[in-house]
Chain A
Amino acid sequence: MNTTLDIVTSKGLTYEQKVVALAHAAEDSLEILNIPEKTRHYMDIGAICDLSEGHAPYRPRYIMPDYEKAIREGCEFLRLDPPKDLDELLSFLMIFYRHVPSITTYPVFLGNIDKMIEPFLDGISDEEAAKKIKLFLIYLDRTITDGFCHANLGPEETRAGRIILQLEKELQNAVPNLTLKYDPDVTPDSYAELALYTSLFCANPAICNHKMHKDTYEDYGVSSCYNILPIGGGSYTLTRVVLPKLAEEATDREHFLKELLPDCLKHMGDYMNERIRFLVEESNFFESSFLAREGFIDRKKFLAMYGVVGLAECTNMLMDDKSKTYGHSPEADDLAEEIMNVISDYAGHSDALYSEVFDGHFALHAQVGIDSDHGITSGVRIPVGAEPDSMFDHLRHSARFHKFFPTGCADIFSFDPTGRNNPAAVLDIVKGAFELGDKYISFYASDSDLVRITGYLVKRSDMEHYYKGEAVLQNTVHLGGDNYRNAHLENRKVRAIS
């Protein structure tokens, strides 16, 4: 979209998508952030990428309201009393969600949805509850028209969770994305198996390693593309270092590791601080939002996600022996670890503004990529089409690199539909992966209409409409459609129980 007029006259955008695009264009007409020359250079070559967050941040990128507090206390600004029964609860949430902003303009986090519903199921039959929750889920899918929206389940088994899983299988909705927080000591096998079984029909839920995340903050939620963030807070921003773009400027490996990378990391951190500064000190978001005023969010629980993408390609570019590649050669993986150590070392010593909840540092995040990326693999993943033959080797590799990322790092596996016949074996794989240190894993069936793109879900059938130039309800269909083609996701290796 080049001009405002293009947006206004587009045939491929819905009315709602035009409004959002126009707001974005208006924001980008401002030039108020202080961006040094060197930073601009890194941005021009694509090494620092702010994911088009906009030129004047006026709301945090990801907001994780404390919904449980809202349900307990009600909301003065929205004139909502604490709900007393299931109908009131679902109505309360539908209204509340509508007022939770984010980078996408839609809520990216809907809370621990099973735990919020569970106490309201007393005296209600499964059948009655399912009918009400079904309407609620349909409402979310049709009104939150953006796939970067996430609800959480578990780790405990709940009746509400079971009902939601059963409904999801039937509804085939892209929104919300669901994650089951899974802890083998807390989550019963039968419940985890139901979750995995469901995911092989509708790509939901993904599975989060609860043990590895539960002590990251006081309490955490999973939002958007599996961002692990503090509840009652969130992330101000997410900027990413696009490693292969930076590596293009390297004269050799030494130069990259010792000079180029540290310099770029520092400039990116400074840039993120500039965004945080404007948001906190000038935008008046925290002053004007009822969420902050009524304590559903607290400025002190926000941090900034420091994104890393394309480790695979960067490593391969810096390898002298081109036959030794990331995910296949121990030497390449050692180099990748060396690169990650430089980044991790920077993050651990960084000074991030207003980031008390993360000890004043930036929080590393394995960024999943965007629609326009070509030849840049998500975070620290092994490139699509070059995955190791053995899924187990793949997962061992993942564990080695997941450890660097406190705010989210994940793998996606396209799985043979026969996995539906043996969810216990799929669970064994998850257990093994989590034991080794994998942080987050998701599956979708290779024959499923719903596919997980980088972290969010899109229907293949919707992408077909988009490819024909037709307007589609969810704007993530645009992103997913381009990403699916550019990243050749159809080549993802299909895994199976061997």
Chain B
Amino acid sequence: MCIGCGICVDKCPVQALTLKKGAGEGRRGAVIWDETKCIQCDNCIRVCPYSASPKIRYMEASEVFEQVSKNIPFIRGITVSGGECTLYPEFLTELFELVKTKGLTCYIDSNGCTDFSRYPELMKYCDKVMLDVKAWDKEVFYRLTQGENDIVKKNLVYLAEEHKLEEVRIVCLEPEVDVEATIRGIAENVEKYLNQFTLKLIAFRNHGVSTKLKDRETPSYEKMREWERIAGLCGFSNIRIV
């Protein structure tokens, strides 16, 4: 997230950014983005020490709902993603409540680090969740995210039991991700529900990656097929390689 340091402001080739001193929650102020001037070159994100985007706009749930409404009747529902959208559960609850009045479905795309069971009101409106399981082993998960995966595992079981899992996703890249252990771990933990969601095996791609993984190659198709085969043996009935 942008901390309002203002480093990007001078680097914008079309002067679409300004620093409003003392505003917002930032260190020096708030970076204001002029959408009409912006040419989407993303230079601001490249020069940011935190890889944050100043191209943001604050909206109320009702304003987001207004944008959603413009797409009716061409959509059957919405999916909220991120960043990590579940960092704002109250906002999502408010938005979903509005969206539900139009008879649309509400899906959440999440890394699973927020405990869903703590937000029963949100889960009442949420139809399905697409859950990332980034790794299974605690250490492996920590190296990858600097976080803990206990909540992810708890969510996996909770969502499966609530019949709210749409898909579970594993980004496949060895050795950073313990792919096989993750497949097996999921299968063991939600054994009874394996036919109720899709297991999506995503081949890592370095497109758009700027971290130390930026030069890593995509796993071979044969390797992906091997994981698919293992998942099949574990009892998953809907498996997709992407």
Using CB atoms and an 8 Å cutoff, list the residues of chain A in contact with chain B: 390, 392, 395, 428-429, 431-433, 435-436
Contacts and interface: CB of A to CB of B under 8 A. Distances in A.
A431 B72 CA distance: 11
18 contacts: A390-B70, A392-B70, A392-B71, A392-B74, A395-B74, A428-B74, A428-B75, A428-B76, A429-B74, A431-B73, A431-B74, A432-B72, A432-B73, A432-B74, A432-B75, A433-B74, A435-B73, A436-B73
A431 B74 CA distance: 7
Interface residues of B, number: 7
A340 B76 CA distance: 33
Nearest to B75: A428
A392 B72 CA distance: 9
Interface in B43-96: 70-76
A359 to B, nearest CB: 32
Contacts of B76: 428
Contacts of B71: 392
A390 B74 CA distance: 12
A435 B72 CA distance: 10
A395 B75 CA distance: 13
Nearest to A391: B74
Nearest to A425: B75
A131 B71 CA distance: 43
B234 to A, nearest CB: 26
A273 B140 CA distance: 81
A436 B70 CA distance: 13
A432 B72 CA distance: 7
Contacts of B70: 390, 392
Contacts of A392: 70-71, 74
Contacts of A395: 74
A371 to B, nearest CB: 33
Contacts of A432: 72-75
A14 B71 CA distance: 49
A254 to B, nearest CB: 36
A223 B10 CA distance: 61
Nearest to A392: B74
Contacts of A435: 73
A435 B74 CA distance: 9
Given A428-B74, A429-B74, A432-B73, 15 more contacts: A390-B70, A392-B70, A392-B71, A392-B74, A395-B74, A428-B75, A428-B76, A431-B73, A431-B74, A432-B72, A432-B74, A432-B75, A433-B74, A435-B73, A436-B73
Contacts of B73: 431-432, 435-436
A433 B73 CA distance: 8
Nearest to B242: A421
B75 to A, nearest CB: 6
Nearest to B77: A428
List the 3 shortest-distance A-B pairs measured between CB atoms, nearest first: A432-B74, A432-B73, A392-B74
A428 B75 CA distance: 6
Q: Which of A428, A435, A436 has the most CB of B within 10 A?
A: A428
Q: Which of A392, A395, A436 has the most CB of B within 10 A?
A: A392
A392 B71 CA distance: 7
